[in-house]
A and B are shown apart, each in its own frame.
Chain A
Amino acid sequence: MVVGIRSYGAYIPKYLVRRPEIASAWDFPSIPGTKAVANADEDSLTMGVEAGLDCLEGFEEVRVDALLFASTTTPYLEKSSSSIIATMLDLDKDIRTMDFSNSLRACTSAFIAATGMIEAGTMDNILIIASDKRNPEPMSMYEYQFGDAAAALLLSSEQIGLEIKNTASVTEDLVGPWRRDKDDFVREFSGKYDGIAGYMSSMISAFKQLAKQASLDFSEVSKACFYGADVRKPAIIGRKLGLSSSAVQDNLFMTLGDTGNAQVFMTLIKALKRVKNGEKILVGGYGDGADAILLEVVDKVPVKSLKRSRRGYLMYSAMTEPVNNYNKYLAFRNALGKKPFTRRTSTVTIHRDTEFLYRLHGMKCNACGTIQYPIWRSCIEPSCMATDDFEVVPLTKRGTIFTFTLDHLEGGDYYETPIPRCVVDLDGGGRIFLNMTDITDPGDVFIGMEVELTPRKAHEGADFYNYYYKCRPIRDRSAKTRKDGD
């Protein structure tokens, strides 16, 4: 059975931190570049949903048989994240969901597992989402390094332009970075030793094994996407393997930082910007051993069409902006010791209302035709009020602001104020009320602004992550997110 990559998707948070801001906060020597930072209401799960949405754009009819979520920073230590993500992606209920966690190569391990499942003929399409929001200790080197992002790949036996030729793995229990069950921050003992005895040794060993299996001459490889905790390490692997100097791809460390599990997929997605038929591509993940993957471009046409039809790395990275200062970054990390915003909650209610809370389904009244949200027994329109006469319909995640306010009383102990709170008419029908996020200047909000829905943590009532949607200005330059004349 031929297995390959059918689609990809990415998510990069809107905000970046300039590394010199971190340096000046602590009087540290400066390191150039930026890193991506998730907003306070984002985590690996919400970013994962975003990457999944991007990946499935245009593939709504594809039956996804399994969802694999790879992250070292799943929001729950006991409770599945892939199940929430699958629900928010409105996937079928009779699918397999799995969390791959606790390792920086959970992403490539999930990739190899999914490849095997499809090869075995038990499944046709598997969505892999890799996402991380790793928490560096303030005033540490990790603070320069860790960035937040998510990436998704749809593996399939059908309609693939990018074939998975071979995979290989080695395991090597060593002391790279770790985080115990009781730690807030990632720790390490000797980064230098891990770089040599762990990273170099495992990666080279895995790729040599891969080359042997595939009878691959490394000089045939035109692109290599290696995970790397910094900007130099992938290049060293490339040299040691004898790759051509142009083959090793930028691991995006300088712009996004070390995005953990998302990094190597994101690197691959960026590398797919230009492809040629017959091209050989390496993908390598590291963490207590290494995973090596060999891909080959068998048909560049579907790969190129992906670039046009999704945001991927290109559009998201073009729609970022730096936070104004380091303190804002600390607020995003919830590092100020403020209590998170809470409300009364009920997991019972949430479960009962999953269809409209997570799947964003609404209803269409058969009597008057009004599409509305959420789902209730009777039509909300006073001119109709028909009871039990409706069908459930999926709603779109885009719309236009009908009216709004900038609320200074909402959530002041968690997020910045004021919060734009928006009545949004969804494209295709349905009206919804949402808080706005990822808005640098709330004064930019206007009636008629085009917004899109984004999954976010709404609050932490009952010590539970209460996920819902917010709206944000559409991250697409063609959308109307500026008032006429501005």
Chain B
Amino acid sequence: MARKGIKDRIAIIGAGYTKFGERWDKNQEDLLTDAVAEATADAGIEKTDINAGWVGIQYWFTGLSGGSLADFIKLYGVPMTRVENYCASGMDAFRNACYSVAAGVNEVALACGVEKLMDQGSRGLPGFRQFGHPVLPLPSAPAMFSMAATRCFHSYGWTKEDLARVAVKNHANGAHHPKAHFRKPVDIETVMRAPMIADPLGRFDCCAMSDGAAALIITTPEMAPSYARGDDYVVVKSNQIAVYTNTPWYMPSFSYTKFPSTQRAAELAYKEAGITDPRKEISLAEVHDCFTITELINCEDLQFCERGAAPYELEKGTFNPDGEIPVNPSGGLKCFGHPIGATGCRMLVELTKQLQGRADGIQVKNPELGLAHNLGGAFTVAAVTILGRPS
């Protein structure tokens, strides 16, 4: 049986998200209720019109099972599933929703994500003492990615200043975004002087702990015009996830200068979407800048530039909002923080608004195709989704 893929078979008809940040006065129910309400209003539907829902949640303390989604938005009696797939949880929730609609099982599906990190009171992502093997060491997220930075410094001669430029660019972008956690530009000295988290990654090299939620309403392109925005919907061109090991530090061939999961997901996504020259064809990209080093490697793994060249492309403006291929015009995880389950859906909301020309404050000029990318765990799970205008 030939595999049909997902290209042009799904339409996004509603998108919504909360302001991201330290939402001390809100809980996960508040956040998800607000995001879903914004998305359903955008689509012009009631929540009871939703046939099925998938929610991306990474942490047990945010919520367990589909019951969390059903309870948070108080929608009972329909299929609801929690998806946990590290930092790609939200985008994987979207993938599941897409497949259910493409299969013809559902007409209207909800894909959403939420995470309530701040209530845990921990300094970094919590729970690392609960995961994995009881004795084998497990690096914190900054430690995992900083080992890639150390190796790139060694292999390519990249410097801490190269990393800092990523933070400077993204903070400049996020300053214009009304829903960003951080809305203040930073200069390179501030980034360089910041306290170390996991050497060589300092505080500004790391995305922040943050709370937030995002939601998307999808249907088929055939049904899409009958909803509130009419022909102004967005279609899915590809959606791919690639999964490798949870413990790359035991893989003798692992280079730490590239992430096979991203490379593979990108390869499959470009093939599915029929893209042969990503740098030329992709209008903008929201990539997983959990750490500054990650964005540089992502740009190479996503084939936006030559191997080892990301810092030089960044410096000459290739990835600026007005550059050849804008990367993280929203400000990225650097400015939104990273409420794990919410991030993937938040990126898809960004792309939807960009492609519809209503990305207030950060609108990229005439976008055709937008790419969103997550990279989770120990470079374990990569998700790439490409959205476009209906043809």
Residues of chain A having any CB pair with chain B under 8 Å: 342-346, 349-350, 353, 357, 370-374, 380-383, 402-410, 418, 421, 423, 425, 429-435, 442, 447, 458-459, 461, 466-468
Contact = CB atoms under 8 A, between A and B. Distances in A.
A204 to B, nearest CB: 49
A407 B135 contact: no
Contacts of B143: 405, 407, 409-410, 421
Given A403-B148, A404-B150, A447-B154, A409 B140 contact: yes
Interface stretch (B28-36, B174-182, B241-249): B241-249
Q: Is the interface of A mostly helix, strand, loop or mixed?
A: mixed
A410 B140 CA distance: 7
Interface residues of B, number: 39
Nearest to B124: A409
A383 B252 contact: no
Contact of B147 (A345, A374, A404, A429): A404
B251 A458 contact: no
B142 to A, nearest CB: 7
A432 B137 CA distance: 10
A429 B253 CA distance: 11
B229 interface: no
Nearest to A376: B250
A343 B134 contact: yes
B77 to A, nearest CB: 37
Contacts of A357: 135-136
Nearest to A384: B253
A374 B250 contact: yes
A435 B135 CA distance: 12
B251 A431 contact: yes
30 contacts: A342-B129, A343-B129, A343-B130, A344-B130, A350-B134, A350-B135, A370-B252, A372-B252, A381-B251, A382-B253, A403-B147, A403-B150, A405-B139, A405-B146, A406-B196, A406-B199, A407-B139, A407-B142, A408-B196, A409-B143, A418-B199, A431-B249, A432-B249, A433-B249, A435-B137, A447-B150, A447-B154, A459-B135, A461-B134, A468-B136
Contacts of A458: 135, 137
A432 to B, nearest CB: 7
A418 B200 CA distance: 12
A423 B151 CA distance: 11
Contacts of B154: 403, 447
B158 to A, nearest CB: 13
Contacts of A406: 196, 198-199
A371 B151 CA distance: 22
Contacts of B321: none
B197 interface: yes
A436 to B, nearest CB: 10
Contacts of B254: 431
B260 interface: yes
Contact of B134 (A344, A370, A442): A344
B338 to A, nearest CB: 15
Given A344-B129, A421-B143, A407 B253 contact: no
A429 B134 CA distance: 24
Interface of B: 123-124, 129-131, 133-137, 139-140, 142-143, 146-151, 154, 195-201, 244-245, 247, 249-254, 256, 260
Nearest to A371: B252
Contacts of B140: 407, 409-410
Contacts of B146: 405, 407
Given A405-B147, A431-B250, A421 B139 contact: yes
B147 A423 contact: yes
A310 to B, nearest CB: 29
Nearest to B254: A431
Nearest to B153: A447
Contacts of B199: 405-408, 418, 442
Q: Considering the complex of A and B, which 7 residue pairs feature the smallest CB-CB distances, nearest first?
A: A406-B199, A433-B249, A345-B134, A405-B146, A403-B151, A343-B129, A407-B143
Contacts of B151: 402-403, 447
B250 A409 contact: no
Contacts of B197: 408-409
Contacts of B134: 343-346, 349-350, 461, 466
A380 B245 contact: yes
B136 A425 contact: no
Contacts of A380: 245, 247, 250-251
Most-contacted residue by chain A among B134, B139, B197, B260 (CB, 10 A): B134
B150 A431 contact: no
Nearest to A433: B249
Contacts of B195: 408
Contacts of B247: 380, 433
Contacts of B135: 345, 349-350, 353, 357, 458-459, 466-468
A423 to B, nearest CB: 5
A377 to B, nearest CB: 13
Given A344-B129, A405-B147, A382 B252 contact: no
A374 B132 CA distance: 14
Contact of B139 (A383, A433, A461): A433
B252 A429 contact: yes
A145 B251 CA distance: 47
Contacts of A466: 134-135
B198 A425 contact: no
Nearest to A447: B154
A346 B136 CA distance: 12
B128 to A, nearest CB: 8
Contacts of B150: 403-405, 447
B129 A409 contact: no
A458 to B, nearest CB: 6
B97 to A, nearest CB: 29
A371 B251 CA distance: 10
A425 B252 contact: yes
A432 B250 contact: yes
B164 to A, nearest CB: 17
Contacts of B136: 357, 374, 433, 468
Contacts of A407: 139-140, 142-143, 146, 198-199
